[in-house]
Amino acid sequence: MAYLYDMTHQEAKAKLIEAWGNLGSNWGISRTAAQIHALLMVSAKALTTDDIMEELLISRGNASMSLKTLMEWGVVKKQFVPGQRKEYYTSEKDVWSLATQIAKERQRRELTPTIEALKAVQEVEGESSDIKEFNKMTKNLLKFAKQSDTVLSLFVKAESNKFLNRLIKLLK
């Protein structure tokens, strides 16, 4: 497995996995789950739970739970391999649908509940300066949250590449 020129590949892979793990832990996904995601992204073939355990030195339970989370996020899928008893896992490889999928999940998990909460606290009765400030602020926050929601929806619906590319050119 360890060719001479392969060392660089192994090192680069380790670095990527580390970086992705760090990013993930800033995003509410566990470090291990993010690392599994990175590993699957850069693997040409689908991997089994055992492959993952071996490469990342994690327990079976951890691998199982993390894969479950990643599948809930919609970024990892089981792949059917004929004649094989074990399950094989792969990641979405198209970076744009990956981003779309993540945006969709965040919208569902964060934006939607926040919008609901903001709606619930709109327009409190009263004349004190604190109440006026409260109403002004929650109104603006709701407006902003709704706009973000619209933008995200557009992003999720627009199919991939072309959309943001055009957008970037438009604004440069």
Partner DNA sequence: CTATATTTTCAATAATTATTGAAAATATAG
The residue among 44, 43, 105 whose CA lies nearest residue 73 is 105
Restricted to residues 86-145, the positions that interact with DNA (CB under 7 A) are 86-87
In the bound state with DNA, the residue whose beta carbon lies nearer, of 33 and 145, is 33
Written as six digits, the tokens of 82 are: 């004929």
Backbone angles phi, psi at 5, to 5 degrees: -70, -10
| Residue 121 interacting entry, from its own copies, DNA, none, C-beta within 5 to 8 Å by type | its own copies
Matching residue, tokens 């360890």: 2
The number of C-alpha atoms within 13 Å of 93 and in the hemisphere containing its C-beta is 8
Residue 50 or 60: the one with the smaller Cβ distance to its own copies is: 50
Tokens of 12: 């680069």
Locate all alpha helices (DSSP H) within the chain, ordered by sequence.
Answer: 6-25, 31-41, 49-56, 60-72, 95-106, 112-120, 129-157, 160-171
In angstroms, give the least distance from the CB of 79 to its own copies.
Answer: 15
Instruction: Sketch the per residue contact string, 54 through 83, with DNA: x for CB under 7 A, - otherwise.
Output: ---xxxxxx-xxxxx--------------x
Cβ atoms within 10 Å of 67's Cβ, excluding its own: 20
Nearer to its own copies, 59 or 122 (CB): 122
Chain positions contacting its own copies, by CB under 8 A: 3, 5-6, 8-9, 12-13, 15-16, 18-19, 22-23, 26-28, 41-45, 93, 95-96, 99, 109-110, 113-114, 117-118, 120-121, 124-126, 128-134, 137-138, 140-141, 143-144, 147, 150-151, 154, 164-165, 167-168, 170-172
Candidates 48, 90, 107, 114; binder of DNA (CB under 7 A) is 48
Query: With b meaning 16 or more CB within 10 Å and e meaning fewer, what string describes 86-97?
Result: eebbbbbeeebe
Contacts with DNA by CB under 7 A lie at 25, 30-33, 48-50, 57-62, 64-68, 83, 85-87
